Amino acid sequence: MKEKNKKGNYLFISDLDGTLLNKNHELEPEAVKSLNDMMKKGLKFTYITSRDHRSSREIMKHIEFTLPVAICGGAAIVDFRTGRIIRDWNINYEVVRIVISFLQLYNFEVSLVTNEKGKVNHYKIAGSSDIVKIDKLKSERIISIAFKDKPERIKNVYESFMKQNGKMMKASVFQDADNTSGAIIEIISSHASKGLAAEKIVNMYQELKEHRVVAFGNDMNDFDLLKYAKIGVGVGNLPKELQRYADIQLEYSQGLSVIKLIENYFYER
């Protein structure tokens, strides 16, 4: 069990969906006010999400971030306001072609997140004729490949895909935040993780090296994040494997249980 002494300085890092956001995938007004009030008083807070920059920035646009955030399962660290990429872990171009060709056998619409001259960009590859678009992306770094469908179909495709390509990249399956009856597969570099992104953010700032990391998550794609944290906080019904690194377990309450714990630690330093 890691220490839970509240004295000292903390960096709080949260997952978004199922953790900090409500069931409508929004921040509760109370959460917005509390976070901004604490950040004006020196709170160190950021998020690491499987969402891309466009969707996560829209959700979190009312928060006055001073630290970078991480997107696409930790595969890119970006400036929240500008979308400038500070650090990324890209997928090899030839691997990208293999992935897209495989997925198009199933007629999926594929979403790509790329690093185009140091900024986040987004693409859609809709059909086999669109494969030519991939050749136009040789000059860009591919950060993430994602697609969505019904859970049972996603499961079958995931198992087939990982059997053939699992050593070349990392793939995660999770519920579609915008469609509760759907599921998503996100493919990122085998070197990327939420935990590594958290470590790199800490190392960017000398003052953060003296802070203890408190991380919040709810699913297996948060495993590396909670493992890295000094204090791991699990939210809601956790997978058994994740419970091992959850020093504290909170009920899911539309994101407000996360806010209450942050307030508790921040104001009792």
In the CATH scheme, what architecture does the domain 10-86+195-267 have?
3-Layer(aba) Sandwich (3.40)
The per-residue pLDDT of the chain, averaged, comes to 88
Percent above pLDDT 70 for the chain: 91
In the chain, % of residues over pLDDT 90: 63
Domain with CATH 3.40.50.1000 in the chain: 10-86+195-267
- The burial class, CB within 10 Å (0-12 / 13-18 / 19+), for 41 is exposed
- On the 0-12 / 13-18 / 19+ scale of CB atoms within 10 A, 140 is middle
CATH topology of domain 90-188: 3.30.1240
pLDDT of residue 1: 44
pLDDT tens-digit readout, 219-235: 999 999 999 999 999 99
Q: Is residue 136 pLDDT above 80, yes or no? A: no
pLDDT score of 211 more than 90: yes
| Higher pLDDT among residues 83 and 268, named by residue | 83
Q: What local confidence, expressed as pLDDT, does residue 168 receive?
A: 73
- Render pLDDT for 81-91 as a digit per residue (tens, 0 to 9): 999 999 999 99
- Tell me the pLDDT tens digit for each residue of 148-207: 888 888 888 888 877 776 667 888 887 777 777 788 888 999 899 999 999 999 999 999
pLDDT band, very low/low/confident/very high, at 3 (cuts 50, 70, 90): very low
Q: What is the mean pLDDT of residues 47-57?
A: 95
Contacts of 24 (CB under 8 A, 6+ apart): none
pLDDT at 261 exceeding the cut of 90: yes
Rounded to 5 degrees, φ, ψ at 8 are: 120, -175
With a cut of 60, say whether residue 249 has pLDDT above it.
yes
102-117 pLDDT per residue, tens: 777 777 778 899 999 9
Query: How many angstroms separate the CA atoms of 265 and 186, rounded?
Result: 33
| Residue spans in the chain of domains classed CATH 3.30.1240.10 | 90-188
